[in-house]
Protein backbone atom coordinates (compact mmCIF):
# COMPACT_ATOMS: atom_id res chain seq x y z
CA UNK A 1 0.00 0.00 0.00
CA UNK A 2 1.31 3.44 -0.92
CA UNK A 3 1.72 5.83 2.05
CA UNK A 4 -0.42 8.96 1.97
CA UNK A 5 1.34 12.32 2.08
CA UNK A 6 0.88 14.39 5.23
CA UNK A 7 -0.61 17.75 4.41
CA UNK A 8 -0.42 20.42 7.08
CA UNK A 9 -2.84 23.34 6.98
CA UNK A 10 -1.20 26.70 6.51
CA UNK A 11 -1.08 28.86 9.65
CA UNK A 12 -3.71 31.61 9.89
CA UNK A 13 -2.61 35.03 8.73
CA UNK A 14 -2.16 37.69 11.40
CA UNK A 15 -4.93 40.23 11.48
CA UNK A 16 -4.21 43.93 11.80
CA UNK A 17 -7.49 44.50 13.62
CA UNK A 18 -7.90 43.77 17.32
CA UNK A 19 -9.53 40.51 18.34
CA UNK A 20 -13.30 40.49 18.75
CA UNK A 21 -14.66 41.42 22.16
CA UNK A 22 -11.32 42.44 23.61
CA UNK A 23 -9.93 38.90 23.52
CA UNK A 24 -6.19 38.78 23.11
CA UNK A 25 -4.63 36.88 20.27
CA UNK A 26 -1.34 35.09 20.82
CA UNK A 27 0.70 37.88 19.20
CA UNK A 28 -0.90 40.79 21.10
CA UNK A 29 0.50 41.84 24.47
CA UNK A 30 -1.92 41.93 27.38
CA UNK A 31 -3.17 45.38 28.39
CA UNK A 32 -2.62 44.34 32.01
CA UNK A 33 0.99 43.28 31.38
CA UNK A 34 3.36 45.27 33.56
CA UNK A 35 0.82 45.96 36.30
CA UNK A 36 2.14 44.90 39.69
CA UNK A 37 -0.17 44.35 42.64
CA UNK A 38 0.26 46.68 45.57
CA UNK A 39 -0.85 44.77 48.69
CA UNK A 40 -2.18 47.85 50.52
CA UNK A 41 -4.18 49.26 47.60
CA UNK A 42 -5.40 45.78 46.75
CA UNK A 43 -6.59 45.15 50.31
CA UNK A 44 -8.48 48.45 50.29
CA UNK A 45 -10.10 48.10 46.85
CA UNK A 46 -10.71 44.36 46.45
CA UNK A 47 -13.95 44.17 48.50
CA UNK A 48 -15.74 46.89 46.49
CA UNK A 49 -14.26 45.56 43.21
CA UNK A 50 -15.59 42.06 43.96
CA UNK A 51 -18.96 43.58 44.88
CA UNK A 52 -19.03 45.45 41.54
CA UNK A 53 -18.03 42.33 39.59
CA UNK A 54 -20.77 40.38 41.38
CA UNK A 55 -23.34 42.65 39.73
CA UNK A 56 -22.25 41.64 36.21
CA UNK A 57 -24.09 38.62 34.81
CA UNK A 58 -23.51 36.34 31.86
CA UNK A 59 -26.76 36.77 29.89
CA UNK A 60 -27.08 33.03 29.25
CA UNK A 61 -26.47 31.89 32.84
CA UNK A 62 -28.32 33.40 35.83
CA UNK A 63 -25.15 33.65 37.95
CA UNK A 64 -22.74 36.57 38.26
CA UNK A 65 -19.41 36.32 36.48
CA UNK A 66 -17.39 36.38 39.70
CA UNK A 67 -19.14 33.29 41.10
CA UNK A 68 -18.99 31.65 37.68
CA UNK A 69 -15.20 31.81 37.95
CA UNK A 70 -14.77 33.96 34.85
CA UNK A 71 -12.49 36.40 36.70
CA UNK A 72 -9.00 34.90 36.78
CA UNK A 73 -7.02 37.78 38.25
CA UNK A 74 -7.53 41.26 39.67
CA UNK A 75 -4.43 43.44 39.85
CA UNK A 76 -4.46 46.75 41.76
CA UNK A 77 -1.28 48.81 41.52
CA UNK A 78 0.01 51.70 43.65
CA UNK A 79 -1.80 54.27 41.49
CA UNK A 80 -5.12 52.41 41.86
CA UNK A 81 -5.01 51.25 38.25
CA UNK A 82 -6.91 47.97 38.06
CA UNK A 83 -6.18 45.15 35.66
CA UNK A 84 -8.71 42.37 35.17
CA UNK A 85 -7.84 39.10 33.48
CA UNK A 86 -10.99 37.22 32.69
CA UNK A 87 -12.26 34.51 30.42
CA UNK A 88 -15.56 33.44 28.91
CA UNK A 89 -17.32 30.10 29.11
CA UNK A 90 -16.43 29.39 25.46
CA UNK A 91 -14.41 31.15 22.74
CA UNK A 92 -17.54 31.56 20.60
CA UNK A 93 -19.51 33.05 23.50
CA UNK A 94 -21.85 35.78 22.19
CA UNK A 95 -21.19 37.78 25.37
CA UNK A 96 -17.63 38.43 24.13
CA UNK A 97 -19.03 41.45 22.30
CA UNK A 98 -20.06 43.29 25.48
CA UNK A 99 -19.10 41.47 28.70
CA UNK A 100 -15.52 42.89 28.91
CA UNK A 101 -16.99 46.40 28.55
CA UNK A 102 -19.50 45.73 31.32
CA UNK A 103 -16.67 44.50 33.55
CA UNK A 104 -14.63 47.62 32.82
CA UNK A 105 -17.60 49.93 33.52
CA UNK A 106 -18.50 48.11 36.75
CA UNK A 107 -14.96 48.30 38.15
CA UNK A 108 -14.46 51.89 36.95
CA UNK A 109 -17.51 52.90 39.02
CA UNK A 110 -15.76 51.83 42.25
CA UNK A 111 -14.64 54.90 44.24
CA UNK A 112 -10.85 55.08 44.36
CA UNK A 113 -10.24 53.22 41.09
CA UNK A 114 -8.34 55.49 38.69
CA UNK A 115 -8.22 53.32 35.55
CA UNK A 116 -9.33 49.86 34.41
CA UNK A 117 -7.88 47.55 31.78
CA UNK A 118 -9.59 44.26 30.92
CA UNK A 119 -7.97 41.35 29.11
CA UNK A 120 -9.89 38.29 27.93
CA UNK A 121 -7.60 35.28 28.17
CA UNK A 122 -8.13 31.65 27.21
CA UNK A 123 -5.43 29.95 29.24
CA UNK A 124 -6.34 28.12 31.35
CA UNK A 125 -9.62 27.21 29.69
CA UNK A 126 -12.71 27.79 31.83
CA UNK A 127 -14.29 24.71 33.39
CA UNK A 128 -17.16 24.22 35.82
CA UNK A 129 -14.59 23.52 38.53
CA UNK A 130 -13.90 27.28 38.65
CA UNK A 131 -17.46 28.00 39.80
CA UNK A 132 -18.11 28.84 43.44
CA UNK A 133 -20.21 26.46 45.52
CA UNK A 134 -22.95 29.12 45.59
CA UNK A 135 -23.02 29.22 41.77
CA UNK A 136 -23.18 25.44 41.57
CA UNK A 137 -26.03 25.43 44.07
CA UNK A 138 -27.91 28.14 42.12
CA UNK A 139 -27.58 26.07 38.96
CA UNK A 140 -28.61 22.83 40.65
CA UNK A 141 -25.22 21.18 40.16
CA UNK A 142 -25.03 19.67 43.66
Give the angle 30-34-36 at the CA atoms, nearest 5°: 125
Q: What residues does each domain of the chain span?
A: 25-130
Highest-scoring range by mean pLDDT, 20-29, 67-76, 90-99? 67-76
Confidence of residue 21 (pLDDT cuts 50, 70, 90): very low
CA distance 52 to 22: 20
One-letter-per-residue 3-state SS of 39-101: HHHHHHHHHHHHHHHCCCECCCCCCEHHHHCCEEEEEECCCCEEEEEECCCCCCCHHHHCHHH
Alpha carbon distance 83, 77 (integer Å): 8
Q: Looking at residue 14, what is its pLDDT?
A: 39
Write out the CATH class of domain 25-130.
Answer: alpha beta
pLDDT-derived band of residue 26, with 50, 70 and 90 as boundaries? low
Amino acid sequence: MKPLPVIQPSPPKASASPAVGGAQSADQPLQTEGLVTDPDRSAALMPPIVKALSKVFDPEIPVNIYDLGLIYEVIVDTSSHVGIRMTLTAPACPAAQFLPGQVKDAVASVPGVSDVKVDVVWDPPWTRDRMSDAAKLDLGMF
